Amino acid sequence: MMLRKANVKDVKQMQDLIGRFASRGEMIPKSLSELYDQIRDFFVCEEDRTIVGTCALHISWDDLAEIRSLAVEEKYWGKGVGESLVRACIEESKKLGVQRIFALTYRADFFKKLGFKEIDKSMLPHKIWADCLRCVKFPDCDEDALLLVSHGS
């Protein structure tokens, strides 16, 4: 398997993978247009030219970024793909000078193993809720909010 920054040729596979989780209400779907617009935010993990995992680091504010669209093919769960993708985002955040990273997730235990701590959603700025307006569960979000504070590279 190879972990790398996403490129435009990956977008359709990324949309398919994210879409499968979105159809189950586990994440917000992404249109092709959104993925092309945000391609620089994404890392992918590929095996045999097939995208098996994807994750984005989205800058929200001068000191805050979000881990979003973390999706891993189920047959790769437990094999370190998700962890590698999140760690790549964490490293990129350090290079960009962003010290706080949050995630909204149904898999809080996964993020806690990576050092994230549970927080109250009200601690997050209102600006981050813009994407939530598209969620079928809005405004009754049942995801957990977690935060990681890094201390340089």
What pTM did the predictor assign? Answer: 0.88
CA–CA gap between residue 32 and residue 81 (Å, rounded):
23
pLDDT of 8-65, one tens digit each? 999 999 999 999 999 998 888 999 999 999 999 999 999 999 999 999 999 988 889 9
Number of H helices, E strands in the chain: 4, 7
Q: What tokens appear for 85 in the block?
A: 């993708």
All structural domains of the chain? 2-149 (3.40.630.30)
Q: Could you tell me if 34 and 4 are in contact, meaning their C-beta atoms sit under 8 angstroms apart?
A: no
